Structure 1
Amino acid sequence: MRGNRVLADSAVTALAPMIWGSTYLVTTQLLPPDRPLLAAVVRALPAGLVLLLFGRVLPKGIWWWRALVLGTLNIGAFFFLLFVSAYHLPGGVAALVGSVQPVITLVLAALVLGDRIRLPHVLACVAATAGVALLVLKATAQLDLVGVLASVGGAICMASGIVLTKRWQRPVNVLLFTGWQLTAGGLVLLPALFLLEGLPSTITGTNALGFGYLIVLGSLFGYSVWFRGTDRVPAIGLSFLGFCSPIVATVLGYVFLGQTLSLLQFVGAAVLIGAIVLVQLTPVRKAVAEPELQRTTS
């Protein structure tokens, strides 16, 4: 029964990274070129303001700075680094570099949340990295230092955001909590947008379509589903669900960009899916069980 509930919550939460798997396609095909800050701000701020208008509740007390920290990690810095990596790296290379995120999450969850590092989780991290490599990495892929650093930075931001979100526990409903973070993340990036990039002289219909897709599906829907999952899915499980993105990105590349799929890619996808399921079904244990803590302190 517990396994079915865990898989159901994980399946719903996985919708978010599946949608985010289209980010590379949308960025390269629909958005203005070389505009990572514009893409990040437009994706975050309008969606956040809509949710704030809908909820009409601002953070209180300690949640002013907590919302700012989470908004910066989960949204502002992550979006910016994601789009930088998308502009500087092929999607496959970015996905492979970003596969270090579960390892970072595993360590942070142990340090901050007291989650015990278990052998199945470690094996799943190794298998997932191998699966991503088989799925998306090609011999002709080119490395770019800026893109690699941005991808690693994005992984650190997302892992930190997952763990802190689990640690602090949202004080309001999921839509309002999502709105706080999207707004904070967008506002953090807004000064940098005007100082470093500025606004483009024109926005085409194709650009507007791409931005609309990222706002509605990528942010309003995607992050509402994702932050719902932070209440129900363990930190390491959330991190592994992010691997749904390269699977979807590969399928979209095949469908829309005429890319081919090899036997090794199918093997990589199977390994990746197996690693995701293994982590969802492996219970997370605390370093010290709660009953033991109670006995020692009583």
Structure 2
Amino acid sequence: MSPKDLLLALVVIVAWGLNFVVIKIGLQGVPPMLLGALRFTLAALPAVFFIKRPNVPWQWLLAYGTTISLGQFSFLFSAMYVGMPAGLASLVLQAQAFFTLLLAVMFLGERFRPQNLIGLIIAAGGLIFIGMESGGNLSVLGFVLTLCAAAMWGMGNIVTKRIGQADMLGLVVWGSLIPPVPFYLLSYWLEGPERMISALQGISLPSILTVVYLAFIATLLGYGLWSRLLSRYPASQVAPFSLLVPIVGIASAAVFLDEQLTPFQLIGALLVMAGLAVNVFGGRLFTSRQRVLS
């Protein structure tokens, strides 16, 4: 990977890692469903007028926007609103990799490889350690909702696999047309019209900057650069960079929000990261071992 593209990869990782701190700050002034509505409204408009619609049937755009955008972020924003720490959210959300594996086995007929199963078991143990520390800085509801967000991300990944080759930035932009109306309806139903109006009328500068960051930096810039890297390099070379997102997320939450991991949470975090690493790099280790044995 060229130095320029390596720098772009690091930009994406920092943008996505800081994303969780930004969400936490934004939720202080805007309720979760309304924040989701504003994020995807700004991500879709006016970008759809400048970015060509991908060659994808509308039903698949609907499925993509419903899962990876509406589903994932309605659960994630709600989780962080009810107390899920930003740093742990960035980590637990990476369980999407294993939900993707499970769903691919169920719906795409894919098979588990040894490194997938071992990584899943290790990461599941880490999630158990994290879940055992409910109370204090972690609510059970927030933890469960974050896992639901990871599951929706995994479903979105399956939809993306079924879509096949498509312009990723175009898919993200046009897929962002799907979530705003359901988000506004959910906000009206769950948060109430009075709260919606009050939040919009009294919106603060930090809340405005949050929406701008989520729409332009985390969504358009992040996915745009990520798709560029995937188009230039094998997925196996790009994917490992995602392991750095929780590290940035946990570190930035400690710096900006003064979040600290308990000993159990730290053990769980290390196990989850180890499980993810085995899932990403394990195939190379198994291949190398087979070559040595043969």
Q: Scaled by the length of structure 2, what TM-score is found?
A: 0.74
CA distance 1:17–1:82, change in 2 (3 Å): farther
Letter in 1 for 2:66: T
Residue 52 of structure 1 aligns with an amino acid whose one-letter code is: V
1:126-174 per-residue CA deviation (whole Å, 9 max, x = no partner) reads 33344567789857344343x3442232122111111120122144x22
Match of 2:50 in 1: 54
Whole-angstrom CA distance in 1 between matches of 2:33 and 2:82: 14
Q: In 1, distance between residues paired with 2:262 and 2:78?
A: 28
1:190 corresponds to which letter in structure 2?
Y
- What is the rounded CA distance, in whole Å, between the counterparts of 1:251 and 1:229 in structure 2? 25
What amino acid is aligned across from residue 249 of structure 2 in structure 1? Answer: A
Q: CA deviation at 1:42?
A: 1.7
| Partner residue, 1:182 | 176
Q: 1:90 aligns with which of 84, 91, 101?
A: 84
Q: Secondary structure at the match of 2:202?
A: coil
5+ residue gaps, structure 2, are 285-294
Contact 1:36 / 1:83 at 8 angstroms: preserved in 2? yes
Provide the C-alpha distance between the structure 2 equivalents of 1:35 and 1:196, rounded to a whole number of angstroms: 10
| Residue aligning to 2:64 | 70
Q: Which amino acid aligns with 1:233?
A: A
Contact 2:119 2:277 in 1 (8 A): no
Matches within 5 A, 1:157-236: 157-171=152-166, 173-197=167-191, 198-199=196-197, 200=199, 201-226=201-226, 233=235
Cα 1:133/1:33, change in 2 over 3 Å: farther
CA contact (8 A) 1:10 1:241 kept: no
CA distance, structure 2, for counterparts of residue 127 and residue 241 of structure 1 = 20
| 2:291 matched residue in structure 1 | none
The percentage of counterpart residues that share the same residue type is: 24
The one of 6, 31, 41 equivalent to 1:45 is: 41
SS at match of 2:111: coil
Do the aligned partners of 1:18 and 1:245 also contact (CA within 8 Å) in 2?
Answer: yes
Change (3 A) 1:219 1:11: same
The alpha-carbon deviation at position 78 of structure 1 amounts to 1.2
- Match of residue 120, structure 2, among 118, 125, 128: 125
Offset from partner CA, 1:183-239 (integer Å, 9 cap, x none): 2222332333344432312111121122221122111112334556777537xx96x
Compared CA separation, residues 208 and 166, structure 1 to 2 (3 A): same
Q: 1-side partners of 2:33 and 2:67: how far apart?
A: 15
Would you say the 8 A contact 1:162–1:230 is kept in 2? no
- Partner Cα separation in structure 2 for residue 130 and residue 20 of structure 1: 25
Distance 1:14 1:272 in 2: 21
* 1:109 matched residue in structure 2: 104
**Does the aligned pair in 1 maintain the 2:130–2:265 contact within 8 Å?**
yes
Partner residue of 2:146?
151
Structure 1 residues 195 and 267, CA gap change in structure 2 (3 angstroms): closer
Higher deviation after alignment, 36-45 or 126-135 = 126-135
Q: Partners in 2 of 1:273 and 1:217 — Cα distance?
A: 25
What per-residue deviation string (whole Å, max 9, x for no partner) do you get for residues 76-131 of structure 1?
A: 12111110001113326645754543332211112333322012112112333445
How far did residue 37 of structure 1 move? 0.9
Q: Tell me if structure 2 keeps the 8 A contact 1:10–1:233.
A: no
For 1:24, the equivalent position in structure 2 comes to 20
* Stretches of structure 1 lacking an aligned partner (at least 5 in a row): 285-298
Q: Distance in 1 between matches of 2:225 and 2:20?
A: 20
Could you tell me how far apart the structure 1 residues matched to 2:131 and 2:13 are? 16
CA, structure 1 residues 96+133, in 2 after alignment: closer, same or farther (shift >3 Å)? Answer: farther
Instruction: State the alpha-carbon separation in 2 of the partners of residues 47 and 150 from structure 1.
Output: 24
> One-letter code of the match for 1:71?
G
- Matched residue SS, 1:90: coil
Aligned Cα root-mean-square deviation (Å): 3.8
Change (3 A) 1:11 1:111: farther
Conservation of the 8 A alpha-carbon contact between 1:31 and 1:206: no
